[in-house]
Amino acid sequence: MFLFVSKNLQTMYDVPGFSDNVNEDIKNAWNEAVKSNYNSSDSNPDPKYFPLDPNDIRESSDAKVFWFADPQEPQHCFDERIAQQLSDFGIEGRKLLHNEYCEYTIVKRQDSSGKLRPKRVNVTTEFKAYWECVARRDPNLLRKILKEILGIQPSWQDLYGVDDPFVLTEQMRAAKFSRLDKINTDNALFMSHPINGLSDLIYIVGFGSKPYAVKRNGQIEKASREEIFTAKRVRSLACRHADPAASMAAYGAVFGGNQVAFKNPLGMYIQSFNTDALSFQGEPLPEKWIRRSRANFSSEGQNEWCQRLVIGPSDEEPYFLDDIKIETGEFKEPVVGGFQILKSIEVGPLITTGNPKSLLSSDYLILDITGINTAIKCNKAEVCSEIQQLKEQYEKSKLHTSP
């Protein structure tokens, strides 16, 4: 089936966050990536409810789609204290737990007594797919972005394993992309968790943008999260914050007769951050210790939005991350990692809805849930056993490091 008719579809979306001044080529590549993910998505996005092009949506208004970024699954399986320990447990914690479309790394440095202490937290909501476009199409831009983020310019050898990446074909450059893994592990350039991808976001919005319904006493009614996630056999996604928030917001709009689309620029954004919760020596945090970047929203209200957030002092300053306190009411504790920061952050994509039109009774996709127990017990989720293993690994590592 041929879904696309619009001519300038190639440049439907600007690059995430308008963050880079890119040429048409990169923009096209990004739009290609979006398009191909949309076309091949396992959730079979239905253009009748979820068109790819936001320009197709008239009488549009913004949907409010965001969620708190702290990993939720370990809080269901265990509690907040353990969730914090495991989420802050280096790359292992990130790989398993940072799955609310927000990842971070903790930068550590030695203090004057030689003790290794957390210095900064780097938080990112950038899509890997965008970085792949850049690495493949525009080595100069890749190096420029890295210079901005890291403060130093990596060599071509570091990035592509050759002295001149311009002699490589795009495919060859793409094949070198994994060279960024190490820098990404250390600095959180973009999201790398397997369900934090562009394809996952398109999947979940496509999944939610369907006129599901249940029949109760012969009446068509709105389905619940538990009913939808059970009937569609994706119960494993139902206990996070991101997937239910994104899909149920889309579903709510569609069930109300609206269409849903990503708004330009398609991306994942840090949409709120309660910086008042942080203090240093009893005062608000110095502004330079909160560095937002990778976004260029000029319109009012969104200028605090970003895809990258760095919290903490620079290497030149004699302070550390744990000199910063996070406070809730009278409760005060030093910031020791990223989990505490993520609790004050909401992230989400930009979604627009509109084109209101009444649904016909033949439009509804009636979920067959007769005889099925749809109750979802999040503390019994399958992922809990994986998290249990990580917990054991964490505990073992503590045994090794404590005297």
Partner 1 sequence: MSFETKLQEGIYYDKGIKPGNHLCMTFLSVRDQIDAPILGKYLSELWTMYDELKKGKIRDLPNHIVPSNHLTILIGFGINLFKKKLRNAKRSAPDQLEKYSTFKKPLPTGGGPILQGAGLMYDDDIKTNPATEDILIQFIADSQLAVDRCVVETWKFLNDKSFYSNEESPLVLGNSYTGFQRDDFRSWIDFHDGISNMESGTARLESMRIKETNIDQEKWTQNGTYISFMRIRTDLSIWRKLSTVEQELAVGRNKLTGCPIISITESGLPVVIDGCPVPGTSEVTETGNEHFKDISEGVIKGDKLPESHIHKANMKRSNDTFLRDSNRIFRQGYEFFEPIDISPGFRVGLNFVSFQDTPRRLNDILTSTNWLGKANFGGSIESSAEMKRFLTIRAAGYYFVPPYSKVDKFPGSSIFLE
**Applying CB under 8 A, does 256 fall inside the site for partner 1?**
yes
What does DSSP assign to residue 20?
S
Instruction: Specify the residue for token string 């989420």.
Output: 87
Q: Which of 34, 52, 57, 63 binds partner 1 (CB under 8 A)?
A: 63
Provide the residue count of the chain: 403
Side-chain half-sphere CA neighbours of 191 within 13 A: 29
**Cβ proximity to partner 1, 80 vs 92, nearer residue:** 80
Regarding 252 and contact with partner 1 (CB under 8 A), the answer is yes
State the minimum distance, in angstroms, from the CB of residue 287 to partner 1.
16
The first and second tokens of residue 250, run together, are 């889309």
25, 32, 62, 170: which one binds partner 1 (CB under 8 A): 62
Q: Which CB, 2 or 331, lies closer to partner 1?
A: 331
Total Cβ atoms within 10 A of residue 213: 21
Judged by CB under 8 A, the residue of 248, 270, 285, 324 near partner 1 is 248
Nearest-angstrom CA–CA distance, 123 and 344: 12
Tell me how far apart the alpha carbons of residues 40 and 19 are, in angstroms, rounded to a whole number: 27
Q: Which residues pair with 390 in a beta bridge?
A: none
Q: What is the dihedral of CA 110, 111, 114, 116, to 10 degrees?
A: -40
Q: Cβ of residue 378: shortest distance to partner 1, in angstroms? A: 7
Question: Quick check: 87 and 71 in contact, CB under 8 A?
Answer: yes
Q: What is the DSSP letter of 263?
A: P
Position 193 contacts partner 1 (CB under 8 A): no
Q: Residue 313 carries which DSSP code?
A: -
Q: Which residues, numbered 201-230, are part of the site for partner 1 (CB under 8 A)? A: 224-225
- List helix spans (H) across 110-163: 128-137, 139-150, 156-160
Near partner 1 by CB under 8 A, which window of 36-44, 74-82, 138-146, 168-176?
Answer: 74-82
**Nearer to partner 1 by C-beta: 73 or 103?**
73
| Segment near partner 1 (CB under 8 A); pick from 32-40, 157-165, 181-189, 375-383 | 375-383
276 contributes a contact to partner 1 by CB under 8 A:
yes
Helical (H) or strand (E) element with 122 = strand 116-124
**Nearer to partner 1 (CB atom), residue 34 or residue 285:** 285
Q: How far is the CB of 14 from partner 1 (least distance, A)?
A: 20
- Contact between 68 and partner 1 by CB under 8 A: the answer reads yes
Cβ proximity to partner 1, 130 vs 305, nearer residue: 305
Report how many residues bind partner 1 under the rule CB under 8 A: 47
When asked if residue 328 is in the footprint of partner 1 (CB under 8 A), the reply is yes
Residue whose structure tokens are 């119960």: 235
Question: Residue 331, interface with partner 1 (CB under 8 A)?
Answer: yes
Q: Which stretch binds partner 1 (CB under 8 A): 2-10, 75-83, 171-179, 262-270?
A: 75-83
Bond from prior residue into 265 cis (ω within 30 degrees of 0): yes
172 versus 384: smaller Cβ distance to partner 1: 384
Q: Given candidates 32, 42, 59, 186, which one binds partner 1 under the rule CB under 8 A?
A: 59
Tell me which residue has tokens 């505490």. Answer: 340
Q: Does 80 bind partner 1 (CB under 8 A)?
A: yes
Q: Which of residues 351-370 bind partner 1 (CB under 8 A)?
A: 353
Q: Is 384 in the site for partner 1 (CB under 8 A)?
A: yes
The CA distance from 55 to 360, in Å, is 24
In this structure, what are the phi and psi dihedrals at residue 220, rounded to the nearest 5 degrees? -80, 125
Determine the angle formed by the axes of helices 198-208 and 24-40, rounding to 10 degrees: 50
Q: Which residue ranges make up the site for partner 1 (CB under 8 A)? A: 59, 61-64, 66-68, 72, 77-82, 224-225, 241, 244-245, 248-249, 252-253, 255-256, 258, 271-277, 279, 327-331, 344, 346, 353, 377-379, 384
